[in-house]
Homo-oligomer: A and B are copies of this chain.
Amino acid sequence: MNIPCNSCQARKSPLCSVFTDLEIEDLFQLAHIRRIKTGAYLLHEEDPVRQVYNVSSGALALERLASNGAKQIMAFCYAGDFIGIASGPSYSVSARALKPLTACQWQEADLQSLYKKHPKLETRVHDITSRVVEAIMDQLFVLGRKKATEKIAWFLLFIETRQANARGYTSAHKSRSFKMPMTRVDIADYLGLTVETVSRAFSQLNSKGMIEITDKWTITIKDRAALTALGDYTSPVPGRKG
């Protein structure tokens, strides 16, 4: 049978990569492909948990809104990221598309039977959850203990490797400059800052020669050592627990 999985950007993602071409047909049979345009929401925080998703292409922001209107972005998601697992009755975050998005959608109810048939799926889903914990803890540290420019330095290195990985699922291409899908406001809402502060920090890193801003979405890291020192960034260990 001919399924689009093998040309999918997420085929080598943590979720799909554990399955053979034959096995993944099982998953694909139950999946529905969702397409969302920029700015639209894939899901809302107060929605009951009925579907789960694996991003095929595009980018998302997982965010939460306060009653006073303040927004906090919890994560940025790329191709290969798995979304929708929650511990309560509702997703506790909303997922907003930063670029036109494609995602595989499964009914949460189907997940249980898929777990039965493919036990490694369950293991993998939970492994992904553990990784989420690590990632959010990193972010927690950054929000609580870093200054504005340090946050931005950390963020740039973080996003760069993050996107390199997402792209790496298909082809490992190495370049010093990269394009971000999120606006300055998004970055501010992710790091607990204001737009103005984010903008100033970008300008500062730019004038100090650590980065170069080609257009506002495209950043080149000129002095990685300095940026790493400033952001105290340690790239994630690829190792898995034994």
Residues of A that sit less than 8 Å from B by CB: 49, 64, 66-68, 70-72, 74, 85-89, 92-93, 108, 122, 125-127, 129-134, 136-137, 139-141, 143-145, 189, 191-192, 232, 236-237, 239-242
Contacts and interface: CB of A to CB of B under 8 A. Distances in A.
Nearest to A192: B144
The 7 closest A-B pairs by CB, nearest first: A144-B192, A87-B130, A126-B126, A143-B143, A87-B131, A70-B145, A72-B141
B132 A74 contact: no
Contacts of A87: 127, 130-131, 133-134, 240-241
Q: How many copies altogether?
A: 2
A88 B143 contact: no
Nearest to A125: B126
A236 B122 CA distance: 26
Given A134-B92, A241-B88, A241-B89, A140 B232 contact: no
Contacts of A240: 87-89
A67 B154 CA distance: 14
A92 B232 contact: no
